Structure 1
Amino acid sequence: MVKITFQPVSVQKPEKEADEDKIIVPQAHEHLVFPAQSKKPFPIGLCCLIIGLVVFISGLVLSSVFFYRYYFIPQQMPEDSLFHCRVVYEDSVYASLRNRQEMEENVGIFFDDNYEQISVPVPHFGGSDPADIIHDFQRGLTAYHDISLDKCYITELNTSLVMPPRNLWELLINVKRGTYLPQTYIIHEEMVVTGRVRNMRQLGPFIHKLCYGKETFRLRRRNQRRRIERRETKSCHSIRHFENTFVVETVICNRY
């Protein structure tokens, strides 16, 4: 006798499809596992390049400011710091020839750098040389460039004769509306050459620019008790200029 058995047919396929639509939420004790991400290397080369560019641009800006300040600004002065002066004064030496003397000069005042620049053209009368003058209050120096001789002379700034930039500016502003300044007088100062200047860098950028490429000498003031003798006058020359309420005649002699 043969026994025939049948396997029960399990109809669970639809349940499996239903299970596929379910969202399984992990339990608290289960850990989420995320796919590992690869770390990118720090861009050291890019940072070095950026730092180099910053240093280069900073150096370029500083050098531009330096050249603009010391070379471009002196040539582009604002109108309220540039004056053309015509001075009327009395001179006892020429009093017998004419009643009064006149002189002209251009004055530039620089407040930021604390110095004055004066340009004296060829005078209408004899006995004085045209010159460019710088009074550097920051370094306490005065430089005379005698244009006729093409030589520079350096001496200590005489603050009793030269007005500071702010005071001189106020004086010139007060008379700017008129062409002539009030009638004034002249005083004399005598200078003697003491030696040659070798190191021009110590004179500062403004005097260095004025005297560069020229023979430059140091001056000291002569004792006022000793006047210039006639035999010395041949080796002396004078520069008349204005930077106060009076005119100054600076006499420079090459010998004692």
Structure 2
Amino acid sequence: MVKISFQPFAGHKADKEEETQPAVLISQPHQQQVMKRSSVATLCCLTFALLVFTCSLLYACVYIYTHYIIPQVPSQSEFHCSVMYDDTMMAPLRTHTRAHTHARPHTHTHSLDEKVDIYLQDNYELISVPVPDFSNTHPAEIIHDFHRGLTAYHDMTLDKCYVSKLNTSVVMAPRNLWELLINVKRGSYLPQRYLLQEQMWVSGRVQDLQPLGPFIANLCSGKDTYTLRPRGNARRVYKRGADSCFGVHHFENTFVMETLICDSQ
């Protein structure tokens, strides 16, 4: 039996493979263009990643401020304060002999209790001072309206209102007072023990309450309302028969304030 086989020629196969496989030629300009496109794509990816990171960080800050910071600074806060202070001006009024001696004036220690409502959104403070434990002072309700720049005293004994210009040098703004009372409540700050005084004089009657703003108008509605003017170099002087004076003690700073209101008879 004869077996016949065919062996392909290597030369023809190589030629055939060369014919079937096309040659790929990359020119130098085309290669630079591909690399440039790759750099632009990388830059776009980095920019997009940075934008996503910035948006995420901004969202996180808004979330923290909304859920943690805003609840700690509510639009309205209520505080009950009890402050101890020294009054060195009371001794000369009670002991006439001390005016003729070189002895140091006796110090009287008092306690001031009050309720403070702070309205941060409306930018005003409402202070309620109950009946004090000593004479020559009246219980009162006080409004400090920082939007209008006015202070109103409602004398609960006389049931009268007195309005004056807001003294921002001794009355803290609502946000600052809120922070002070928070620190006092935490025990990280103690108020000063001295007493600061101011003397006010009745200068006229208020006929229309609307220009005073809604908060003071609501406080003084239905009450005789008068304007006050400050008197410089205020001292504790009570003129018998000529002037009728009473004091209102209140706390809206690092010290206790006494507002002495005098009305000429």
TM > 0.5 between the two? yes
Q: Is the Cα–Cα contact under 8 Å of residues 88 and 181 in structure 1 kept in the other structure?
A: no
* Match in the other structure for 1:251: 260
* 3-state secondary structure, aligned to 2:153: strand
Q: Deviations for 1:2-33, whole angstroms, at most 9, x for unmatched residues?
A: xxxxxxxxxxxxxxxxxxxxxxxxxxxxxxxx
Cα 1:248–1:232 shift into 2, 3 Å: farther
Matches of 1:124 and 1:112, distance apart in 2? 34
* Match in the other structure for 1:171: 180
Cα 1:232–1:91 shift into 2, 3 Å: farther
Q: Is the Cα–Cα contact under 8 Å of residues 86 and 195 in structure 2 kept in the other structure?
A: yes
Matches of 1:170 and 1:183, distance apart in 2? 16
Q: Is the Cα–Cα contact under 8 Å of residues 153 and 218 in structure 1 kept in the other structure?
A: yes
Matches of 1:142 and 1:227, distance apart in 2? 22
Detail structure 1 runs of 4+ shifted over 6 Å in the superposition: none
Cα 1:97–1:80 shift into 2, 3 Å: farther
Q: Deviations for 1:94-128, whole angstroms, at most 9, x for unmatched residues?
A: 46666521110000000111000000000112221
Matches of 1:233 and 1:97, distance apart in 2? 28
Amino acid at match of 1:245: T
TM-score, normalization by structure 1: 0.64
- What's the C-alpha RMSD, in Å, of the aligned pairs? 2.4
Q: Deviations for 1:148-202, whole angstroms, at most 9, x for unmatched residues?
A: 0000000000000100001100000011145x94442101100000110001101
Cα 1:79–1:97 shift into 2, 3 Å: farther
Structure 1 gap ranges (5+) = 1-77
Larger radius of gyration: 1
1:1-256 matched pairs, under 5 angstroms: 81-94=77-90, 99-178=108-187, 181-224=190-233, 228=237, 230-231=239-240, 235-255=244-264
Cα 1:190–1:232 shift into 2, 3 Å: farther
* Match in the other structure for 2:59: none
Which is further off, 97-106 or 153-162?
Answer: 97-106
Amino acid at match of 1:82: E
Structure 2 gap ranges (5+) = 1-73, 92-104
Matches of 1:175 and 1:109, distance apart in 2? 15
Task: Report the structure, 1 or 2, having the larger helix content.
Answer: 2
Matches of 1:120 and 1:133, distance apart in 2? 8
* 3-state secondary structure, aligned to 1:100: strand
* 3-state secondary structure, aligned to 1:224: coil
Amino acid at match of 1:244: N
- In the TM superposition, what is the alpha-carbon distance from 1:255 to its structure 2 partner? 1.7
Cα 1:254–1:84 shift into 2, 3 Å: same
Matches of 2:235 and 2:135, distance apart in 1? 24
Q: Is the Cα–Cα contact under 8 Å of residues 116 and 135 in structure 1 kept in the other structure?
A: yes
Aligned length: 178
Amino acid at match of 1:115: Y
* 3-state secondary structure, aligned to 1:173: helix
TM-score, normalization by structure 2: 0.62
Amino acid at match of 1:191: M
Cα 1:195–1:240 shift into 2, 3 Å: same
